[in-house]
Structure 1
Amino acid sequence: MTYATDLPGRPRPGAVGGPATERAVCVLAPNPSVMTLDGTNTWIVSEPGSDLAVVIDPGPLDETHLQTVVSTAESAGKRIALTLLTHGHADHSGGAARFAELTGTAVRALDPALRLGGEGLGIGDVVTTGGLELHVLSTPGHTADSLCFHLPADGAVFTGDTVLGRGTTIVAHPDGRLGDYLDSLRRLRSLAVDEHVTTVLPGHGPVLDDAQGVVEYYLVHRAKRLAQVETAVENGHCTAAEVVAHVYADVDRALWPAAELSVRAQLDYLDEHGLIGE
């Protein structure tokens, strides 16, 4: 979900719907909306010279899209050997079961309910397939089960909905929690600084080339919104709906129901830290 329109970094032309890095190719799902931007990015990831590939987020249950992912891999001489999920929202995972049937692959996810025919994913796990190396990062906040995948060889990170290619994401209360989300953003900032990650490969929107700048923008944006929510409450806007109408007046009203989820998460955060409700 988008609240803002400008992000630091340069969207790479052609990143959505085609190659993004040496090892990552994006296939765009045909599910554009105010919540999904251009649609869901399904990522095919493989080591150069290998005939095996990993798919991250097969996307919604759309037969044409799932078949396109398979044919895109096959046209590059790749066999899909594993499917990974960044989180359980249906625009990312809804097609996973059907995709597993099409490819004969296991589906690995943090949430046991989403796993199919394989082991789960845990903090610090390293997925190795066909020489490819993906490091699993725990990044809850957007949802409790949100993961990111670090691709060291390309200096890149697959962020699902934790960081988008355009705008900012929601904290999907009550499953998502703002404190967790802020911690996850700080974890991604450390990854960018310490591991020299420059490229964001998001679940929606274009690729961004300034990972550190994007994450710092997100942190500043979240701090500003939190301060605005706190001020709104101090000024007598008591319900989440009232806060949304006041704080998100500049946002398309079609997004207000989703904005209310983030506001509820922010109100919980303020309450937990003793900043309201005294």
Structure 2
Amino acid sequence: MTDTGDLPGRPRQGAVGGPATARAVCVLAPNPSAMTLDGTNTWIVSEPDSDLAVVIDPGPLDENHLRAVIATAEAAGKRVAVTLLSHGHHDHAEGAGRFAELTGTSVRALDPKLRLGGEGLGLGDVITTGGLELHVLSTPGHTADSLCFHLPADRALFSGDMVLGRGTTMVAHPDGRLGDYLDSLRRLRALTVDEGVETVLPGHGPVLDDARGAIDYYLVHRAKRLAQVETAVENGLRTPSEVVAHVYADVDRSLWPAAELSVRAQLDYLGEHGLI
């Protein structure tokens, strides 16, 4: 979901099959929409001198896309060794089962229901396939099972739907919770300071070259929206749909159903903190 303009920094998107960093290649799924922006970014990640690759988010159940991911890896002399999921939304995970069949690989995820023939995935895990060093970060908020992946060698972060390449994401109430989301954003920001993360490789939209600026923008945006929701309630608006029509009046109406999920999460947050 997007309800704002471009983020800070210099957004860029490599061509399908083209490199985004020294170790990451994006294959764009053909599922563009108001919710998915240009489509789902499926990431192929590997060490340059390795013949093994990790795939993050195979995307929707689209046979041509799944085969394009495999073909892109093979063209670079790589074999897919394991599949990782940032979270369970269909635009990221629906094709995982078929992709596992095509590649003979396991699927690792935080949610046990999404795992196929492999271990779980959670905070502190490090993926070392083919010499790669990919750190798993627990980042609930957009959904309860949201994960991000830190690639230290490229100073990069695979952000799933936590940070998009354009605009802002939704908090998918009731599974997603605003308090968790804000805490996760703060942890991601700390990576930009403590670990030197510079680049965001998102689940949707272009690559962002200013990770700290993008995350700061998200934190400020969330604070502003929360204040607007609080003011709307103080002014007598009570139902989520009423709040959406007032607070998100500047947003395309096709996004209002998603905005309502975020509003419900914001209302819960305000209630939990005794602010309404």
TM-score, with structure 1 as normaliser = 0.98
- CA-to-partner distance for each residue in 1:60-103, whole Å, 9 max, x for gaps? 00000000000000010000000000000000000000000000
Partner of 1:44: 44
Number of equivalent positions = 276
Partner of 2:78: 78
Whether the 8 Å CA contact 1:44–1:54 is kept in 2: the answer is yes
Mapped partners of 1:244, 1:12: distance in 2: 31
Whether the 8 Å CA contact 1:15–1:207 is kept in 2: the answer is no
- Whether 1:31 and 2:31 are equivalent positions in the alignment is yes
- Give the 5 Å matches for 1:238-257: 238-257=238-257
Partner of 2:99: 99
Partner of 2:117: 117
Shift of 1:6: 2.3
Shift of 1:260: 0.1
- The alignment partner of 1:130 has SS state of helix
Shift of 1:30: 0.1
Shift of 1:12: 2.2
Shift of 1:11: 1.1
Mapped partners of 2:56, 2:195: distance in 1: 21
Mapped partners of 2:14, 2:200: distance in 1: 14
- CA-to-partner distance for each residue in 1:153-206, whole Å, 9 max, x for gaps? 000000000000000000000000000000000000000110000000000000
Shift of 1:14: 2.3
Whether the 8 Å CA contact 2:198–2:210 is kept in 1: the answer is yes
- The alignment partner of 2:159 has SS state of strand
- The alignment partner of 2:128 has SS state of strand
- The alignment partner of 1:107 has SS state of strand
- Whether 1:268 and 2:268 are equivalent positions in the alignment is yes
Mapped partners of 1:17, 1:206: distance in 2: 14
- Whether 1:146 and 2:146 are equivalent positions in the alignment is yes
Partner of 1:175: 175
Whether the 8 Å CA contact 1:16–1:205 is kept in 2: the answer is no
Partner of 2:126: 126
- The alignment partner of 2:72 has SS state of helix
TM-score, with structure 2 as normaliser = 0.99
Mapped partners of 1:93, 1:122: distance in 2: 17
- CA-to-partner distance for each residue in 1:83-140, whole Å, 9 max, x for gaps? 0000000000000000000000000000000000000001111111000010000100
Given residue 146 of structure 2, which amino acid in structure 1 is its aligned partner? Answer: S
Mapped partners of 1:230, 1:157: distance in 2: 32
Mapped partners of 1:83, 1:42: distance in 2: 10
Partner of 2:7: 7
Whether the 8 Å CA contact 2:177–2:265 is kept in 1: the answer is yes
Mapped partners of 1:215, 1:231: distance in 2: 24
Task: Name structure 2 gaps, 5 residues minimum.
Answer: none
Whether the 8 Å CA contact 2:17–2:72 is kept in 1: the answer is no
Which aligned segments of 4 or more residues in structure 1 are displaced greater than 4 angstroms? Answer: none
Given residue 161 of structure 2, which amino acid in structure 1 is its aligned partner? Answer: D
Deviates more, 1:3-12 or 1:257-266: 3-12
Partner of 1:60: 60
Given residue 183 of structure 2, which amino acid in structure 1 is its aligned partner? Answer: D
Percent of aligned positions that are identical? 84
Shift of 1:17: 5.0
Shift of 1:18: 2.1
Whether the 8 Å CA contact 2:189–2:215 is kept in 1: the answer is yes
Mapped partners of 1:228, 1:210: distance in 2: 27
Whether the 8 Å CA contact 1:16–1:206 is kept in 2: the answer is no
Shift of 1:16: 5.8
Shift of 1:28: 0.1
Mapped partners of 2:154, 2:13: distance in 1: 17
